[in-house]
Amino acid sequence: MIHIALDAMGGDDAPVETVKGAVLALKDYPITITLVGREDCIRKELSKLNQKESDRLRILHASEVVEMGESPAQSFRKKKNSSLRLGLDMVKEKVADGFVSAGNTGAFMATSVLVLGKIPNIDRPAIATVLSTNNGPVLLLDIGSNVDCKPHHLEQFALMGHYFASLVLKVENPKVGLINIGEEEDKGDTLVLAAYPLLKKLPINFVGNVESRDILTGKVQVMVCDGFLGNNLLKFGEGLIDVFMGFFKNDCQQSWISKLGAMLLIPALKRFKKKFDYEETGGAPLLGVDGVCVVAHGRSQAKAIKNAIFRAYQESESNVIATIQEAVSQ
């Protein structure tokens, strides 16, 4: 059975929501889970849920916690007994098949590279995110771990994205696009201009440049960009969603007609929100480190944790890392 380690202490609402999320995941998926963190805290949360340790739900005590604002380098040096470190150690030692944390993302990334190492021939791991569209899932990478990319980094992101979309998202022959300010081959900044021919040579379905207006149309299934752009796009998207939701909260409260209209739309709006909800997307895979690592949103509630665990389970089951390893070794 696939075994996932969960950082029970990571995230704004840990350990309450992390423990809840683990319990939910156990009900739905054929997995075992180790909760890594302060044993007393975890036991307290489990008892609130009338749950006990079992063969499928274990606890690994970790006396330290990496805080949100902590420097990745410092936490690595000083906190050798943090839940983050011990969880990653489990993956390193093949005791666990994957690790999920909603804690300090910078520390997660840095520590995962130091503990697990990178896949040979991958220079920089990327954080990817799965977006939902009316035409199926779209993988966007990198969303923030790499600023100042070189062309061959984008090439590696494209290759990893191809395999993740194929094997984990189960998209047959996924279309891979390079995010650019125009679709013409001669458009773009120095980076994408130099990356284009590299992506073209890869044994993947590279469809060329794609404008960012098409990120959510599902025109392609993998969108490649450097982490500075990807992170900004994602955050701008979050800001825009807030503006849209503000329409229902504010603009629609100005007359009883629009209040009634907004009320009637609540069920449709709930379905719509679900499509774009990070709680549903299942966490962001960290691709390029030598082990399954899934970054959950800092604000994750139980459902988001559950879905991030599911992502780690899917990723472990699909053997995507071994496939990437084989592909880049050639």
Which positions touch a copy of itself (CB under 8 A)?
A: 134, 144, 147-148, 179, 181, 188-190, 211-217, 226-229, 231-233, 235-244, 246-247, 250-252, 254-255, 257-258, 260-265, 267-269, 271-272
**Dihedral, CA of residue 243, residue 247, residue 248 and residue 253, to nearest 10:** 140
To a copy of itself, the closest distance from the beta carbon of 284 in angstroms equals 15
Closest approach, Cβ 111 to a copy of itself, in A, equals 19
Residue 271 burial (CB < 10 Å; 0-12/13-18/19+)? exposed
Distance set, CA 128 to CA 230, 285, 293, 296 (Å): 9, 6, 11, 11
What's the closest the beta carbon of residue 129 comes to a copy of itself, in angstroms? 14
Nearer to a copy of itself, 168 or 210 (CB): 210
For a copy of itself, give the closer residue by CB, 49 or 263: 263
Nearest distance from residue 294's CB to a copy of itself, in Å? 21
Minimum gap (Å) between residue 194 Cβ and a copy of itself = 11
Q: In angstroms, give the least distance from the CB of 213 to a copy of itself.
A: 4
DSSP H helices, the chain, are 16-28, 39-48, 72-78, 83-92, 105-116, 151-163, 190-201, 227-249, 256-264, 266-276, 278-281, 302-318, 320-329
Sign of CA dihedral 216, 221, 226, 227: positive
Q: Is 327 exposed, middle or buried (0-12, 13-18, 19+ CB in 10 A)?
A: middle
User: Which residue, 36 or 176, has its beta carbon nearer to a copy of itself?
Assistant: 176
Q: Which is nearer to a copy of itself, 118 or 219 (CB)?
A: 219
Q: How far apart are CA 64 and CA 8, in angstroms?
A: 12
Q: Does residue 37 contact residue 7 with C-beta atoms inside 8 Å? A: yes
55 or 186: whose CB is closer to a copy of itself? 186
49 or 147: whose CB is closer to a copy of itself?
A: 147
